[in-house]
Structure 1
Amino acid sequence: MTLILRGTTYYLKRRVPSRYQGVETRPWLVISLKTDSRLEAEAKAAAVWDQTCQGWEARLKGQADDALVRFEAARDLAQAHGFRFAKAPQVARQPLDEILDRVDAARGPGGNLLKADAVAVLGLTDPPAITVSEALNIFWVLTEERTHGKDTNQLRIWRNQRKRAVTNFIDIAGDIPLASITRDHMLDFRQWWWERIRDEGMTANSANKDISALVNILRTVNEMKRLRVDLPVGKLAFSEGEQNTRLPFSNDWIRTVLLKPGVLDGLNDQARDILLALINTGCRPAEIAGLRPHHILLGHKVPHISIEPDGRTLKTVYSRRKIPLLGVSLNAMRRHPEGFPRYQVSGSLSAVVNKFLRENDLMETPAHSMYGLRHSFEDRMLAAGVDERIRADLMGHKLQRERYGVGAPLETSAAIISQVALSYDAPDAHASSY
């Protein structure tokens, strides 16, 4: 990098790298650093050269076949010239001095306008017509950080929810460009969901999740790709009213029906013991299914499991916890000290267990599901007068006040759970099938 002094002004002189010879006709570049100070010129030279290279990179990018890449290149080239990219009508509304500065920036060595530079600084290009399905493909790339740490099953669920939302919208409105989405399209989508709620028994919660997923995809692509499309996506959610909560199984039902010897023999052994592990831990089914061998500490003074973000993500930051094992849950985990590989990355656990319970009249009501065992555990702790902090820690819930300290030790938690843990009414020998 060479500095030369012409009169009282320093210039940067440097050979154009071969990489850029297709977008820069001059073999050498001489750029004014606009200073008569050698020290200031030395300080400015590297930044000026970097900005020049950014402009060349943008010109190279502008030769791509992909319309989105070319649009991004125009935006980058405008920035390299020191201007914020704006469409031509917006440029025309700027003060005359800025418009003239933009025109000057687009001139080449001979004073003629350079096409790529003029397109960039004068806003002579429109955002590409990205369709809704194309937006989904772009969304996957833009949001890699959101799926970091998710296991295969969590990733499948996350992606399928968004695929489903896009498919539903396309079925209603077509695979149209983002810039063509109107308020009518969004209201038609909302109406379609209302008819499913009204006629098919779908919930407002399901509709809102679908609408929210679609809106998030559209907004993310629009914002991160700087398309500046005015998306008409506000105020679409349904009022959810009273939420349908998962009903807890009664203690009598668990004892006399679910823990009746042999009643669960028709389930495969891993699904059966996950169900039994839920009874005295209050875990989410996926938390038990996702346990790795080093999360199952049966040889500890207090046998327990450790719910960790290891090979997967947890539902919330509060979900990370240690839970003592007692009663039927301890027996179940002793039979599976290596965990439950069949369901670690499979999303079929709930479907398998719930289908079995329904087909064998083991659901307390038609509204029950396996997840209700988690709520039963919490209800038993509440009835036993267990402190709110300990309940929240064991359930992996957010505490509705400031959380101090590290919480109760395992010995204390085990003593508390022993008050509410359920076991077989019959001796272990009688319950040997479990």
Structure 2
Amino acid sequence: MPKTASDRVALRGRVFYYVRRVPRRFEQVDKRGIVFVSLHTEDRRQAEEAAITAERELEALWVSLAAQGDPDAWKRYQAAMERARLEGFAYRSPIQIRDEHVSSIVDRMRSLAGREDDRSAAAAIAGLEPKPEIPISKAMELYFGFSAGELLGKRDDQVRRWKNPRNLALSEFQQCIGGDLEITALTREHARMFRDMWLKRIREGGYGRNSMNKQISHMSRMLHVVSEEMKLGLDPIFAKLSVSEKKRSRPPFDRKWVEEKILAVGALDGLNLEARVALLVCMETGMGAEEVSSLRPATIHLKAPVPYVSVVSREGAEQKTEYRPRDIPLVGIALKAMKLCPAGVTRYYDKNASLSGVINKFLRENHLLQSEDHSLYSFRHSFQDRLTDAEAPDRVQADLMGHKYVREKYGKGASLTQKARWLSQIAYKAPAGWKV
């Protein structure tokens, strides 16, 4: 079995140390052979806990040392910054070091004593690795790397949908300013050019303000993060360039429209079966496209005394809010539809954007949207209104919608049988002869 950090803890005198042989792949950059890192404790348990940090930082140091020889300037600069941090210093250029307090300069020089051959240490501590030029395209790549924590819990499709609008903003910004400029050369004038391009689109091309604001936000955030991480000191060139826009909520469908138009015999025949099933389940249960596309055989319980589906958080999945996981009884058209896809809408597993696009396009082209502002998501608003009209208790509404219950919770809430009773009261009524 591979060794853990605690396996590498050894007592030297009265103090515990983290002891490790330099791996072969790093022997050329770390000549020490065996590394001893004091854990500054005489307590074994505390030492084992400290060893985890020591191991992480030592491995980071080796990676940093290896990157020093990378031909890519920004990687060498990053490596120098990381090496300086692990040595206990902030990375500074020679000019910046000159302006530090004398004691700080002395500390830097003392730390290099006896290590004349350690060029990477000198480059990091004395600030000899020049700050690289970073074109906008490289900055966006760096930003994606720096944002790894923000992407935790997202599936591949969610990561792709997170990156795509940022890459689009980058592409349009580059076209606007005339190329892949170096980020330290960007000015407020470049940001204004981008804003003016968008204002013209809004006035003449029918674009919405929200599209403009999102792209400005993406570019602003990217430059801010890269500037912070790379210690570039960039000015906030996009500050206060967004325009105000009243947020528009999707309107709900009227019951009459749903039952007479969308559930009319044959109205959905041109939609593929799995998209049709997904649409009907969303209509009746208030689920969103991401939730219905995430259903698996293990979360579909058609043989239960009360048939239901479970909206759950899976590994690699991310719910819109922490309150969304829930059990929803299947009644009416949702139950009939789900029986045709007992394993879920497999064609659209984790492809909610594709599912929404197919359904919305079909509804629009077949004149089944009540207005231009309606969409698949409008059925979630309809579901909330139907529960309210039926005077369902607040706790039941919150449990079925997946919303936060504003009062303190006691007990498990409504049972599946009770939920099914409320859903049966608000279920849509399909006409005679209707089939999924």
Q: Which moved more, 1:353-362 or 1:80-89?
A: 80-89
CA apart distance, 1:98:
2.5
Deviates more, 1:314-323 or 1:231-240: 231-240
Q: Are 1:424 and 2:430 counterparts?
A: yes
- Aligned mates of 1:348, 1:19 — CA distance in 2: 45
Cα distance in 2, alignment partners of residues 179 and 275 from structure 1: 49
Contact 1:107 / 1:113 at 8 angstroms: preserved in 2? no
Q: Kindly indicate whether the alpha-carbon contact (under 8 Å) linking 1:107 and 1:114 is maintained by their aligned counterparts in 2.
A: no
Instruction: Label 1:113 to 1:268 Cα distance change in 2 as closer, same or farther (>3 A).
Output: closer
Displacement of 1:228 in angstroms is 4.6
* Structure 2 SS opposite 1:315: coil
Matched-pair identity in % = 37
Going from structure 1 to structure 2, the CA distance change for 1:307 and 1:93 (only over 3 Å counts) comes to same
Deviations 1:20-65 (A, max 9, x none): 775689x999x9x9xxxxxxxxx9xx99999999878755532221
1:17 CA displacement? 9.6
Alignment of 1:42-121 (within 5 A): 59-108=65-114, 116-121=120-125
Say whether the 8 Å CA contact 1:179–1:231 is kept in structure 2. Answer: no
C-alpha distance 401-193 of structure 1, shift in aligned 2 (>3 A): farther
Could you report, residue by residue, the CA deviation over 1:219-270 in whole angstroms, capped at 9, with x for unpaired residues? Answer: 33333445454443433332122x2221211111111111111111111111
For the Cα contact (< 8 Å) 2:259–2:430, is it kept in 1? yes
**8 Å contact 1:182–1:232 — kept in the other structure?**
yes
Match of 1:37 in 2: none
Residue of structure 1 equivalent to 2:5: none
Q: Which residue of 1 aligns with 2:299?
A: 295
State the alpha-carbon separation in 2 of the partners of residues 49 and 152 from structure 1: 30
State the partner residue of 1:153.
Answer: 157
Matches within 5 A, 1:173-192: 173=177, 174-192=179-197
Q: Distance in 2 between matches of 1:94 and 1:207?
A: 43
Summarize the Cα distance change of 1:340–1:58 in structure 2 as closer, same or farther, 3 Å threshold.
Answer: closer
Q: How many residue pairs were aligned?
A: 405
Asked whether the equivalents of residues 181 and 231 of structure 1 are also in contact (C-alpha less than 8 Å), the reply is no
Q: Is residue 332 of structure 2 the alignment partner of residue 323 of structure 1?
A: no
**CA deviation vs aligned residue, 1:380-412 (integer Å, no higher than 9, x gap):** 111222233322221122344545543322112
**What is residue 415 of structure 2 aligned with on the other side?**
409
* Residue in 1 that maps onto 2:258: 254
1:210 matches 2:234: no
Counterpart among 362, 380, 384 of residue 378 in structure 1: 384
Which stretch of the first structure deviates more once superposed, 328-337 or 379-388?
Answer: 379-388
Distance 1:271 1:48, change over 3 A: closer
Distance, in Å, in 1 between the alignment partners of 2:366 and 2:152 is 40
Deviation at 1:19, TM superposition (A): 7.4
Partner Cα distance (1:205, 1:402) in 2? 36
Q: CA deviation at 1:218?
A: 2.9
- Does structure 1 retain, via aligned residues, the 8 Å contact 2:122–2:128? yes
Structure 2 portions without partners, runs of 5+ = 1-9, 13-20, 39-46
Distance between the aligned counterparts of 2:119 and 2:270, measured in 1? 73
Q: How far 1:374 moved relative to its partner? A: 1.6
Q: Report the residue type matching 1:212 in the other structure.
A: S
C-alpha separation in 2, matches of 1:49 and 1:190 = 48
Letter in 1 for 2:157: N
Gaps of 5+ in 1: 4-14, 34-42
Say which of 236, 240, 246 aligns to 2:241: 236
- Residue in 1 aligned with 2:129? 125
Q: TM-score, normalised by structure 2?
A: 0.80
Partner of residue 340 from structure 1, selected from 331, 341, 345? 345
| Distance in 1 separating the partners of 2:128 and 2:30 | 21
Query: Is contact 1:354–1:369 with CA below 8 Å preserved after alignment?
Result: yes
Question: What is the CA–CA distance in structure 2 between the aligned matches of 1:231 and 1:276, rounded to whole Å?
Answer: 47
**In structure 2, the residue corresponding to 1:260 is in which secondary structure?**
coil
Alignment of 1:19-38 (within 5 A): none
Which residue does the alignment assign to 1:283?
Answer: 287
Worse overlay, 51-60 or 288-297: 51-60
Distance apart, 1:282 and its partner CA: 0.7
| 1:273 and 2:271 correspond | no
Q: Label 1:414 to 1:65 Cα distance change in 2 as closer, same or farther (>3 A).
A: same
Asked if 2 retains the 8 angstrom alpha-carbon contact of 1:276 and 1:329, the reply is yes
Contact 1:257 1:263 in 2 (8 A): yes
Task: Give CA deviations for 1:139-159 in whole Å, capped at 9, x if unaligned.
Answer: 333334444443443233222
Aligned-pair distance for 1:337?
A: 0.9
Contact persistence 2:363–2:369 (CA under 8 A): yes
- Pairing partner for 2:176 from 165, 172, 175: 172
**Take 2:399 and 2:170, find their aligned partners in 1: how far apart are those partners?**
38
Q: Give the alignment's Cα RMSD to 1 decimal.
A: 3.7
Alignment of 1:137-152 (within 5 A): 137-152=141-156
Query: What SS does structure 1 have at the residue aligned with 2:285?
Result: coil
Label 1:389 to 1:192 Cα distance change in 2 as closer, same or farther (>3 A): farther
Q: Which structure has the larger Rg over C-alpha atoms?
A: 1
Range 147-156 or range 332-341, more displaced = 147-156
Map of 1:390 onto structure 2: 396
- CA–CA distance in structure 2, aligned partners of residues 226 and 194 of structure 1: 32
TM-score (norm 1): 0.80
Quick one: structure 1 residues 57 and 162, their matched pair in 2 at CA, closer, same or farther if it must change by over 3 Å?
A: closer
Q: Distance in 1 between matches of 2:311 and 2:156?
A: 18
